[in-house]
Amino acid sequence: MENQHEFKNPFRPGAGHTPPYLAGRTKETQEFLRLLTQETILENMVLTGLRGVGKTVLLDAFKPEAIKDKWLWIGTDLSESASISENNISIRLLTDLSVVTSNIVIEKSEAQKIGFASETESIEYTLNFHTLKNIYDNTPGLVSDQLKNLLEVVWECLSMQKPKGLIFAYDEAQNLADHTAKDQYPLSILLDVFQSIQKKGIPFMLVLTGLPTLFPKLVEARTFAERMFRVVFLNRLSTVESKDAILKPIEDTNCPVKLTDDSVDEIVKLSDGYPYFIQFICREVYDAFVQKISVGKEPSIPVEEIVRKLDTDFFAGRWARATDRQRALLYVIARLKNCELEFAVHEIVDLSKEILEKPFSSSHVNQMLSSLSNAGIVYKNRYGKYSFAVPLLGQFIQRQEIETIKWHGA
Ligand SMILES: Nc1ncnc2c1ncn2[C@@H]1O[C@H](COP(=O)(O)OP(=O)(O)O)[C@@H](O)[C@H]1O
Ligand SMILES: [Mg+2]
């Protein structure tokens, strides 16, 4: 018998929230499945793209695929603190590893072989965090030597369960960084360690996701990263995929909301195919439609209200954090025809001469773009041009009061 449940608003805007229907992403998933067929790991994955494009939820969707294919999976969100020091990244790896190793029991003789366990004790050891940490601490050499040895030991123990390999999945990996001034190189160490153990045939694979700054950062730390990673750039959804994302969640016969083709087209246009915006707009549309229907009115899409809400909920916080001069710069960028694609320093300088009383010099623009890049607002692509790291930011800036910008910019 059909369950006459009350149908709730299915849309889920929010970082990392699993969508009611994951639209598109078949090519990207196939690419991931291809990497799973590697016996010797030659390619790791970087999954990159703008904020809200669906990196986190796609990474989540990869996990069951990998497990079905007999891979083990560990990983987390890389908060900034994980990358501050070499010690932090080691602890991070040990902690994550212990999740899949802690039920492994090692005999005393084996424990001694790998340089652990005292002569007098006659107990069994499980490969829990504590044991891992002991092995790590008892290995002589640099942090990278300690980690390499630890990973080899772990694989020796894990391989008895005959998995195909182990995936280290790290989200928000653009937070990884070396700190030359403090003589701390956690990012370089991570790359060195994985390159080395992969060369030895150990099937440990990195899957890193992050903003478009991620891959350039990896290559800057170690040039071999260029060959070590297969970069998959997540784009916005196509029109057909966008329609799937909008319609599939409300296909259920119990769903009170039906959308006309025109309404769907309108949502596709407003969202420009960006998954976060699709979820956001659809959630608003759904509620608005339910209200109108309940009072017997013909529902329509409240475009203005939605745009205003999106501005306050999504963009305003980022805008508020920018300085007056940064806003003036962003305002100039938003006036460039190609601002939603990419823009060059000289284009900004030229236009600023036309529209600002106090124009920008190119060194000033370079300097400001680099701080905006650290703030996650823009990023530099490999050809030295810049793009917004936040989708549809240009349109938002164009909606802002021009008076205030002139006032600050002039
Ligand atoms: N393929 C997709 N189809 C439908 N909705 C999606 C898709 N990918 C992401 N979303 C939705 O978009 C929003 C942002 O996804 P998220 O993975 O957090 O993006 P990112 O990690 O790139 O910032 C979430 O609300 C999520 O449910
Ligand atoms: Mg994310």
Q: What is the pLDDT of residues 270-320, one digit of tens each?
A: 999 999 999 999 999 999 999 999 898 889 999 999 999 999 999 998 888
Where does residue 272 fall: left (phi above 0), alpha (psi -120 to 50 degrees), or beta otherwise?
left
C-alpha 51 – ligand 2 centre gap (Å) = 7
Residues 6 or more apart in contact with residue 282 via CB below 8 angstroms = 11, 245, 246, 249, 267
The token duo for 350 is: 């030229």
Phi, psi (deg, nearest 5) at residue 329: -65, -45
Our mutation pick for probing the ligand 1 site, out of 279, 283, 284, counting the most ligand atoms within 8 A of Cβ, is 279
Sign of CA dihedral 205, 210, 215, 217: negative
Question: What whole-number distance in Å separates Cα of residue 72 and Cα of residue 66?
Answer: 7
Closest CA to 182 of 77, 80, 83: 83
pLDDT of residue 42 exceeding 60, the answer is yes
Give the number of whichever ligand sits closest to the CA of residue 172: 2
Give dist(CA 402, CA 379) in Å, integer. Answer: 25
Between CA 315 and CA 275 the distance in angstroms is 16
Closest CA to 126 of 98, 111, 109, 105: 105
Asked if 327 and 369 count as a contact pair (C-beta separation under 8 A), the reply is no
Phi–psi pair at 75, nearest 5 degrees: 145, 170
Listed range (120-129, 263-272, 319-328) with the worst mean pLDDT? 120-129
For 69-114, write each residue's pLDDT tens digit.
999 999 988 876 667 789 999 999 999 999 999 988 877 666 666 6
What residues does ligand 1 touch, defined as CB less than 6 Å away?
12-17, 19, 22-25, 49, 51-57, 245, 275-276, 278-279
**Partners of 379 in beta bridges:** 387
Choice from 57, 239, 268, 282 to test ligand 1 binding pocket (greatest atom count within 8 A of CB): 57
**Residues 291, 285: Cα–Cα separation, whole Å:** 10
Buried (b) or exposed (e) across 51-77, using 16+ Cβ within 10 A? bbbbbbbbbbbbeeebeeeebbbbbee
> What CA–CA distance (Å, rounded) separates 166 from 42?
14
The answer to whether residue 2 scores a pLDDT higher than 50 is: no
Report the atom number in ligand 1 closest to the C-alpha of 278: 5
Q: Which ligand is nearest to the CA of 50?
A: 1
* pTM: predicted TM-score of the whole model, two decimal places: 0.91
* Buried residues in 98-125 as b, exposed as e (16+ CB within 10 A): bebbeebebebeebeebebbeeeeeeeb
Note the helical H segments in 125-213. Answer: 129-138, 143-158, 186-199
Mutate to test the pocket of ligand 1, among 276, 280, 388 (most ligand atoms within 8 A of CB): 276
Specify the residue with its C-alpha closest to ligand 1, atom 14: 52
Rg (CA), the chain: 25
First to last CA, the chain: 69
Distance 278 CA to ligand 1 centre (A): 9
Which residues on neighbouring strands pair with residue 387, listed in sequence order?
Answer: 379
Rounded to the nearest 10°, the torsion over CA 35, 41, 42, 45 is 50
Residue 364 scores a pLDDT above 60: yes
Mean of the per-residue pLDDT values for the chain?
91
What pLDDT is attached to residue 249? 97
pLDDT digits (tens, 9 = 90+) for 106-161: 776 666 666 665 555 556 778 999 999 999 999 999 999 999 999 999 999 999 88
Number of C-beta neighbours around residue 201 at 10 A? 10
Q: Which of 333, 335, 358 is nearest to 348 (CA)?
A: 333
Q: Compute the distance from residue 52 Cα to the ligand 2 centre, in Å.
A: 7
What pLDDT is attached to residue 403?
Answer: 52
